[in-house]
Chain A
């Protein structure tokens, strides 16, 4: 295993949804990122910014009202190239997902163990007694006693159902785990247990993870890297500590300032306004109407995503000057 090569790369992904009135909503607008083996990346932003749509598109799970363009490269193969037929063999086997609210999506009248066997048999990775043995191992791996495979979902607490949902996502030994708000409905202590588990799984199994959340402190605790999304675009991406200590996009800075910190003394400030509608063309920077640092080009030109440091990109006109200045020096 070479640690350098990305395990999965998303290139220039666009997603449009057809709206009832014939209009189109451009939910994801040219998202590009890659993920290395064992890496944990946070995908953060407000509701409607396209973070869930992005990972659903990676799984090929968007509804038929959506059209997708771009590439998802898994082990050198573009799994989006031929639509469902090229993504289906990889779904759940190489790339898998813990859905938002997954803990409440178990079939209430089927035993937990049987529900975890299902994807194994469906994808032919295991069956019969070997599948049952694997279920026990999987449950133990996520911190549930293997004996409980024969229990029903209602006999599990919320935290345990979430662990079982993670076990379900790992059933076919994927390389990439996409976790959509995996702790949002949980109490802080159970959240800590689940985050602990996700970190341990990525470390022990070499699993790569994308953690989708609106909760920046959760990303700060769990992830190596973060991508901040706004209006369907990644507006800043880099190492988590660079993003926090030296944000290069005002949205990132303002999002941190809007998040109360347990021990922080700074005033918590909301971001005025709302994200733009994505069913019409945007002129200039999509964040300009809410930004506290706008200047001339912001309302006219859409900013480019520029590398501001090694492994740190941002999409803001403030960096145009810096990069131009640096080039001239």
Chain B
């Protein structure tokens, strides 16, 4: 699709489902087996030096997509290729060297750091687990380098501290440093700033932006469209396990095509009290991903649904009213 030889990450027709536990009573009573259709045919790519944001409400499948990419959950179908190599079906042993190259940043730096580990221990641990980094001195040098890359300079000031001595932003930088120490090619960041104070969010996002400029591919999971529009190259909007719209970040936000994206963007509060637009509030909440509506999965909540939407499941296609050829939406009306 893109002109580059092979993108860093190519996800194609990814399907990931979870069985709903029935419990002993459910099995005896022969309740039907139910499945959560978390991800239902998702395709996207992340290139080198590109930040792609997966945006959507809870239950849309964005986190499951990310977990499939890092192989924390097994997908049912579809392919995930990293630097051209298929990841699905690889054994844990075969995956291990690849895990160094794909690293994850979690949402909550208050939970993700071990309180009994000093900053040094936290950042050194991945090196020990993967058996890389050479001698003690070499490892120490790598830890310091990772700290400084993550913006905790000078490293001496932080290296012997414990998480409780650090602010939220500093903790998240330590978490990022412990990913960077393995020199990954792809970062998967799940809501990396949502637990942090507004005043420090920009710093963490700026750090991700710098890593992106150095050639890192970043897949960011977020529910915050404002953040995505500022920091992502491309946005993929997800609804009930599907990407319903994707394209260049600014274009998706300024000229949304899918009725769901339009509604979502209309309800994002603006900073300027005079600029508030009439929000187009959708009633109800995202339906249960166990029972996906027929046809277009958005039709029960869609303000412009027609008869055909009950039966036609639209594919992503180039939106006629869009400027960029890469701006696509899955709606019969675009």
Chain A bound to chain B: yes
- Could you say which residues of chain B place their CB within 8 Å of the CB of A218? 269
| Contacting pair A220 B269 (CB below 8 A) | yes
Interface 1/0s, chain A 163-203, versus B by CB < 8 A?
00000000000000000000000011111110110000000
Chain A contact residues (Cβ within 8 angstroms of B): what range? 35 or more
Interface size of B by CB at 8 A reads 44
Partner of A217, one of B206, B230, B264, B268: B268
| Contacting pair B271 A268 (CB below 8 A) | no
- Residue A244 at the chain B interface, CB threshold 8 Å: yes
Measured CA separation A192–B57 after assembly (Å):
13
- Residue B176 at the chain A interface, CB threshold 8 Å: no
- Residue A85 at the chain B interface, CB threshold 8 Å: no
A263 to chain B, nearest CB (A): 7
Decide if the interface of chain B is mainly helix, strand, loop or mixed.
Answer: helix
Measured CA separation A259–B205 after assembly (Å):
12
Across chains A and B, the number of contacting residue pairs, with CB separation under 8 Å, is 125
B264 to chain A, nearest CB (A): 6
| Contacting pair B199 A264 (CB below 8 A) | no
- Could you say which residues of chain A place their CB within 8 Å of the CB of B205? 268
B60 to chain A, nearest CB (A): 9
| Contacting pair A240 B273 (CB below 8 A) | yes
Partner of A259, one of B200, B264, B271: B271
| Contacting pair B230 A220 (CB below 8 A) | no
Measured CA separation A195–B281 after assembly (Å):
10
- Could you say which residues of chain A place their CB within 8 Å of the CB of B324? none
Additional pairs, 19, CB under 8 Å, beyond known A260-B226, A262-B265, A271-B200: A46-B197, A187-B285, A188-B57, A189-B281, A195-B269, A196-B281, A217-B226, A218-B269, A221-B273, A260-B224, A260-B227, A260-B231, A261-B272, A262-B226, A263-B254, A263-B270, A270-B201, A270-B203, A271-B199
Residues of B that sit less than 8 Å from A by CB: 57-58, 167-169, 197-206, 223-227, 229-231, 253-254, 263-265, 267-276, 279, 281-283, 285-286
Residues of A that sit less than 8 Å from B by CB: 46-47, 157-159, 187-193, 195-196, 214-218, 220-222, 240-241, 244-245, 254-256, 258-264, 268-272, 274
